[in-house]
Structure 1
């Protein structure tokens, strides 16, 4: 009789709440190799060569902006080398937030993540305003700068991101390649009109301490130009946010970060000298499309200026598109770990964080449409960026000191000295945001304070232990406890 009894069917254990939670919050892995990641790093930033940086001429003159660019370039180089080490240790979608979470605890993670969110929500808002300026100058479709242009950009490019990350990054790489080629072609044309006398043609403020033709606004003008010098590099630190979607992130991340930074430094040097020398610093200091103004001067459009205008639009689109990606991944990581409302990290069937794309996009559109002030949006973005840079550099220092035995597949050249340099320069740039537009800086500070109140009162009590960044932190705490025993 016993032989006639059918064996009981195997019992499949019910999925744990933790596994179900993470299954609904996963990204498409292995979508990006080092080349796509490098393209992403350049795409984040390339719009800064076409517009935005030139406002620094109105703050510091040619000499002030030149010195500021060297200092900010040094800050970014030091930061990128520090992030290359951190991203090889912790290859998660949290990026800077994940690094700070490991080094500085939940408060440090939230402070860093919130600052990055401010940057990646406000930077696209600034860029879409510059896109409007280029569209207006081209007279495309009869459109003028304003909310229809902004809305169209957000709807179309968020739609591409919802399609899938692989497709999105390949689109970004193609548009970025067009923009980089256009910058080089622009430089060739602009250098044929180069006149060194135009570099220092801004009127000198004789009341400013240390003023001269090269520093028309004095020594303080150098400092005031910091936020605009950053526009040549702002966003490259977002490459680690693609870690969970990268192929072999331990090797590809450091390589992509280093190559991106090298390309951006070269483009900054060429663009700065070519544009300023072609028509003079005074002519382009307030232009929404400075490269076009540099080519046209008082004359009408030329074949080259029209090409650069279209290509400038491509460069702006590349950065706008890529920064939307970065913001969505930062929001995804913070939400998945419980720092922000958890529903924001839900992903679609194509593994795209749809709410993490749509909600920041809606906020960015509203800010751009309400203000129309790209320079102010830029300054608020820089405010968030500089806080995050300081905290990420500090995270590198803390982990080097506290966990010297931690496996480091890539080590930052110069070690702690490199990250300390980034920390000091980032804090200097943070102060500079108050020199440029104190109202914008205080607005950003108020938003930051509200976010911190939310964390203190609610979200720090509802963190998700199974999220990758939290698991890394828990493992580190357990290892430290064993070491003490």
Structure 2
């Protein structure tokens, strides 16, 4: 390998062996956990409880199939780029970038939306909110990430643990108040064809509720972004992402059934803090106060972990030459300094709009595009590279990834049904990003193929280890 390549990659190294499967499962849970506290419930207002339950079931199936597909690809291709690396392996540089760009839109906008929600939670507790709160949260958590991946992941586990405790405590407290009749207290709309007590806003409502159902699982697909820092990627990443998904299915079922049944679907469909309102309505006021505080921990956990996710994705895209190369420079602690800071500054500026709901819907559009492309990558890898070593194999093979592919396209149209503005804005952003690649960065790639980049990386690490030894 040339000295130029060795020097280039020597400055772009992540710390190996930082995370076992338990830390990776914790990462997957913390990506998502804030979604159990709020946001999902607005889907009940769109579709009624029955319609939202159908939407949640469809999205649970989509994510489960996607996670099983990602588990196979992450074991075979353990790279920090996650879905982008998988797509690049089988669809070439353009397919890789278009997948990475969709994930980037999701991971760059989601923290900006979440920090606005954090500001609202801080205001409810302290009366203080605004740009200073947003700036403080971005600065504090980027600083922790700069200290090191191991420290960041362990901090995140503690914060996530508090949020999980709040959800489980809420579920136990509400168990005795379960009343199935309250799930169907939204009257069937006289203006909607085919509206029933089960589907008070018809099948259109189910369609429009899909983005809110995704909020129960959104970003769990980011676990493979930690592949280069896992102790044993071929075993740890599949175990970590599947364990996270199974746990999230459990917590989603708890909030979906127990929270609306305590106070009524109509009230919960309008609530900014559904768990807190359900506890207050059932007389659990002390626990409600505690959960209100720990709900902030849930938001912080997701904010904190998605910062980790976007930094690893941008690091990988930059190292390959898709994005400006300075973004993949790593510090002495082997953390991607500029990949943490630059998107943080841009996210903070986006948060000043105060439009958290719009950014969330845009993040969902980016996510669904990436899910379709990642599912397609799994299908194409099975067809084109049947001999590729697969330490973990997806149960059901291409049927499983085919289900994820179809449902992700349905979910993409669901955002249009709910918020056409978010859909159009995201597509415009996506086209601008694609033009950047086709007009500029495709001529500045570091390696022609993913295999070539991995070979360069392994050689650089080997050379460094030899020099240090």
Bucket of the pairwise TM-score, normalised by the shorter protein: over 0.9
> Does 2:377 align with 1:390?
no
TM-superposed deviation, 1:175:
1.0
Question: Residue in 2 aligned with 1:426?
Answer: 408
2:89 to 98, 102, 125: 102
Distance 1:268 1:171 in 2: 24
Distance 1:328 1:200 in 2: 43
> Does 2:16 align with 1:29?
yes
> Does 2:234 align with 1:250?
yes
Question: Residue in 1 aligned with 2:417?
Answer: 435
TM-superposed deviation, 1:440:
0.9
Distance 1:401 1:472, change over 3 A: farther
**Which is worse superposed, 278-287 or 170-179?**
278-287
Distance 2:454 2:91 in 1: 13
CA contact (8 A) 1:464 1:470 kept: no
Distance 1:473 1:380 in 2: 36
TM-superposed deviation, 1:166:
0.3
Give the secondary structure class of the aligned counterpart of 1:46.
helix
> Per-residue displacement from partner, 1:205-243 (whole Å, max 9, x unpaired)?
222122122212111111111111011111111000000
Distance 1:399 1:472 in 2: 17
Give the secondary structure class of the aligned counterpart of 1:210.
coil
CA contact (8 A) 2:109 2:360 kept: yes
**Which is worse superposed, 463-472 or 201-210?**
463-472
CA contact (8 A) 1:134 1:288 kept: no
**How many pairs align?**
457
Question: Residue in 2 aligned with 1:10?
Answer: none
Distance 1:466 1:163 in 2: 33
1:63 to 27, 36, 50: 50
2:218 to 227, 234, 237: 234
Distance 1:110 1:466, change over 3 A: closer
Question: Residue in 2 aligned with 1:9?
Answer: none
2:453 to 448, 471, 475: 471
| Structure 1 runs not aligned, ≥5 long | 1-13, 476-485
CA contact (8 A) 1:32 1:247 kept: yes
CA contact (8 A) 2:32 2:220 kept: yes
Q: Normalised by the size of structure 2, how large is the TM-score?
A: 0.94
CA contact (8 A) 2:32 2:217 kept: yes
Question: Residue in 2 aligned with 1:323?
Answer: 306
TM-superposed deviation, 1:434:
0.7
> Per-residue displacement from partner, 1:181-207 (whole Å, max 9, x unpaired)?
110101111233333222122243222
TM-superposed deviation, 1:346:
1.0
Distance 2:307 2:338 in 1: 12
TM-superposed deviation, 1:470:
4.5
TM-superposed deviation, 1:133:
2.4
**Which is worse superposed, 114-123 or 129-138?**
129-138
TM-superposed deviation, 1:55:
1.3
Distance 2:165 2:282 in 1: 26
TM-superposed deviation, 1:330:
0.5
Distance 1:200 1:31, change over 3 A: same
Distance 1:400 1:473, change over 3 A: farther
Question: Residue in 2 aligned with 1:369?
Answer: 352
> Does 2:156 align with 1:187?
no
Distance 2:307 2:214 in 1: 19
Q: Normalised by the size of structure 1, how large is the TM-score?
A: 0.91
CA contact (8 A) 1:224 1:433 kept: yes
CA contact (8 A) 2:92 2:449 kept: no
Root-mean-square deviation (Å): 1.9
Distance 1:350 1:246, change over 3 A: same
TM-superposed deviation, 1:445:
0.7
Distance 1:242 1:128, change over 3 A: same
Distance 1:437 1:207, change over 3 A: same
TM-superposed deviation, 1:288:
2.3
> Per-residue displacement from partner, 1:240-281 (whole Å, max 9, x unpaired)?
000000100001111111111110000000011111111112
Alignment of 1:220-369 (within 5 A): 220-297=204-281, 302-369=285-352
CA contact (8 A) 1:57 1:65 kept: yes
Question: Residue in 1 aligned with 2:462?
Answer: none
> Does 2:158 align with 1:171?
no
Question: Residue in 2 aligned with 1:75?
Answer: 62
